[in-house]
Amino acid sequence: MANLTITIENSVLSEGQKVAHDRDTTVSQMVREYLSSTVSEASERKAAIERLLSRRYPLKEIDWKRSDLYER
């Protein structure tokens, strides 16, 4: 496991420590879970987009003119 150093406001860290204590965890664990969740969501989103794009019908060459759509 790699180490990560971040810079945050003291007040944010203090509140984060209180939240972590209330949840019976650590700030480090909360950050790990947040990053894991974010990466997982991004990966799932990318896979969903790839599935959607793979289902697209190939575009055909347009062989008509706009004026063909209207009766004169």
- The C-alpha atoms of residue 16 and residue 18 are separated, in whole angstroms, by 5
> To the nearest 5 percent, what fractions of the chain are helix, strand and coil?
60, 0, 40
The answer to the question of residue 34 being in a domain is yes
The answer to the question of residue 42 being in a domain is yes
The answer to the question of residue 4 being in a domain is no
The answer to the question of residue 62 being in a domain is no
The answer to the question of residue 63 being in a domain is no
The answer to the question of residue 45 being in a domain is yes
**pTM across the whole model:** 0.65
> Could you give the number of structural domains in the chain?
1
Parent domain of 44: 17-53
pLDDT digits (tens, 9 = 90+) for 4-61: 999 999 999 999 999 999 999 999 999 999 999 999 999 999 999 888 888 777 777 7
